[in-house]
Chain A
Amino acid sequence: MSRDGAGAAASFFSSRWGLVLATLGMAVGTGNIWRFPRVAASNGGGSFLVAWVVFLVLWSVPLMIVEFSFGKRSRRGTVGAFAALAGRGNAWMGGWVALCALGIMFYYSVVAGWCLRYLAAAVTGELARRDPAAVWQGFAGSPAAVVTHLTALGLAFSVVWFGVRGIERVTTVLIPSLAVLVIVLAVRAVTLPGAEAGLAFLFTPDWAALGQPRIWLEALTQNAWDTGAGWGLILTYAIYMRVREDVPLNAFLIGFGNNSMSLLAGIMVLCTIFAIDPGAQAQIVGAGNEGLTFVWMPQLFARMPGGAAFMVLFFLALSVAALTSLVSMLELATRVLMDFGAERRRALAWVGAAGFAFGLPSALSMPVFQNQDWVWGLGLILSGLFFAVATVIFGADRLRREVVNAPGVDLPVGRWWTLVVAVLVPVEAVALLAWWFWLASKEEGWLAPWSTFNVGTVLVQWGVALAALGLANRWLARSVDGPVGPAARDVAPDPAGEGAA
């Protein structure tokens, strides 16, 4: 009997589809719906999309394969996996990955709460009656945002409480529903009079733009953020994959599935904008993620025939996407604590309490929210780099032979993957970080530690986190080291008798 009380068999995804849908639930989040359309529209449309597809294959999928392999091989959370594969001296890198995901979880539950609040407002007709800008100004940063933050966290908590089978059951229903919702919204948007201009805007290429590094770096950033590659979340779900489960085909499937949803969201948002208010497209696209979603989209839906119903579907899709991603973040942190010996539900309680407490500043203050989004969003690039470095330490080709292309593989990967992970991913990560810092360094007061968006605030917060992890490395490695601990016993032989690695 596993310690989550649900039985030994409950410690594995019951099928490939359970794993794929849960991981898609993690990958498809608000970034697909609110960030992708905006970034694609403001970076050259068609030419950006070409670069975005290239980086799907040269960043996201290779890193997803790495994450699946780490989780499957080690059967431990991020800290234990890095210690097991890259050596005890590098447990801190796994700690960074966990800390970064945790930093994002703290404010992401606030975002999920916003989505729930707007879903409720769309259902009750409040968004149709009131000016959405006034609704947003009265809500963001108010005590009401604390209530919705707690609600979102509570919903995700109740899913993770039931372990991997709870996650599987919920995502098996929600992810296909989300896909249907996004397809319905996209079809509706494309059939609006004037929607063709939105398609033209999204797909018309500006080939000269492909010569600008900015387009490529934005495409890389978007892939890093919206596929969830290098966050440690896929690694966490891979702990529960069956031994004979395939790695590469699942990684490709999730990468392409996630980007398919992004593309649908881009078509949906841009066609709606161009069909309803083509004159305001520059203003809408430039309004930022929150402005586009919570101020402009309700206004556009209100002016669309049957818009009230589509507004409900839009915020339902957004809420589902946010909640399924939040579930994976809670599971990541819970799993790391379980590797340190904590029982699942106790670990989850600690993570939930910390999530609520540390999410409060972001719920109550937009500058804090934006600062945390900036600092830990950038941190993900470092997480991706650490995964590549750990793979090199373990031996990229060895990982490919022993784990990626293990018996039962459905889509074996060639040496190109070794080259991409060992050489290209580190180069991409370093180039991206250098570019961002260079851009930020041109701002006045770029090293001031208390600014919302600058290099100084990133360096201070990263520096504190890295120093703490460096000092705690020996303890981290010792705590997750040795024979399979009590928490790891949760990963018991699966019902097919295939056993844990």
Chain B
Amino acid sequence: MSPLAVVVMVLVCGTVWGGFALLLTRAVRREGGKRREEAERPERRR
């Protein structure tokens, strides 16, 4: 495999898989945050 092909592989796979992993991480964090927020809400009311 030529160095150029390796660069393109890293670039494409990095963008697509890396992008997906980053987005997934963000979604997981946001969901966790929302759950915590909802769990705290009744306590505040009390």
Chain A residues within 8 Å of B, Cβ to Cβ: 15-17, 20, 46, 49-50, 53, 56, 196, 199-200, 202-205, 246, 249-250, 252-253, 256-257, 259-260, 263, 410-411, 496
Whether A199 and B8, one on each chain, are in contact in the complex, defined by CB atoms closer than 8 angstroms, is no
Known contacts A16-B31, A249-B26, A200 near B5 by CB under 8 Å: yes
Closest to A251 in B: B23
Selected contact of B8 from candidates A16, A46, A253, A496, CB within 8 Å: A46
Selected contact of A260 from candidates B16, B27, B30, CB within 8 Å: B16
Known contacts A203-B5, A204-B2, A249-B26, A49 near B19 by CB under 8 Å: no
- Kindly list the 10 A-B residue pairs having the minimum CB-CB distance in the complex, ordered from nearest: A256-B20, A46-B8, A203-B9, A204-B5, A200-B1, A203-B5, A410-B30, A49-B12, A253-B23, A203-B8
A203 vs B14: C-alpha distance when bound (angstroms):
13
How far apart are B31's CB and chain A's nearest CB, in angstroms?
A: 6
How far apart are B41's CB and chain A's nearest CB, in angstroms?
A: 11
A200 vs B6: C-alpha distance when bound (angstroms):
8
**A196 partner residues in chain B, CB cutoff 8 A:** 1
Whether A411 and B5, one on each chain, are in contact in the complex, defined by CB atoms closer than 8 angstroms, is no
Interface size for chain B: under 10, 10 to 19, 20 to 34, or 35 or more residues?
20 to 34
Known contacts A50-B8, A203-B9, A259 near B16 by CB under 8 Å: yes
Selected contact of B12 from candidates A15, A46, A252, CB within 8 Å: A46
Known contacts A46-B8, A199-B5, A203-B9, A53 near B15 by CB under 8 Å: yes
20 A-B residue pairings within 8 Å (CB atoms): A17-B31, A46-B5, A46-B8, A49-B12, A53-B15, A53-B16, A199-B5, A199-B9, A202-B9, A203-B9, A204-B5, A205-B4, A249-B26, A252-B19, A253-B23, A256-B19, A256-B23, A259-B20, A263-B12, A410-B27
Whether A253 and B9, one on each chain, are in contact in the complex, defined by CB atoms closer than 8 angstroms, is no
How far apart are A180's CB and chain B's nearest CB, in angstroms?
A: 15
Known contacts A256-B23, A257-B20, A260-B20, A199 near B30 by CB under 8 Å: no
**A49 partner residues in chain B, CB cutoff 8 A:** 8, 12
Selected contact of B30 from candidates A50, A246, A259, CB within 8 Å: A246
Whether A53 and B12, one on each chain, are in contact in the complex, defined by CB atoms closer than 8 angstroms, is yes
A256 vs B17: C-alpha distance when bound (angstroms):
7
A50 vs B2: C-alpha distance when bound (angstroms):
17
A149 vs B9: C-alpha distance when bound (angstroms):
38
**B31 partner residues in chain A, CB cutoff 8 A:** 15-17
Q: 8 more A-B contacts (CB under 8 A) besides A204-B5, A253-B27?
A: A53-B12, A203-B8, A205-B5, A205-B8, A253-B24, A256-B16, A410-B26, A411-B23
**B4 partner residues in chain A, CB cutoff 8 A:** 46, 204-205
How far apart are B12's CB and chain A's nearest CB, in angstroms?
A: 5
Closest to B1 in A: A200
Mark each residue of chain B from 11 to 40: 1 if its CB lies under 8 Å from any CB of chain A, else 0.
111011101100110110011000000100
Known contacts A204-B4, A256-B20, A257-B20, A50 near B12 by CB under 8 Å: yes
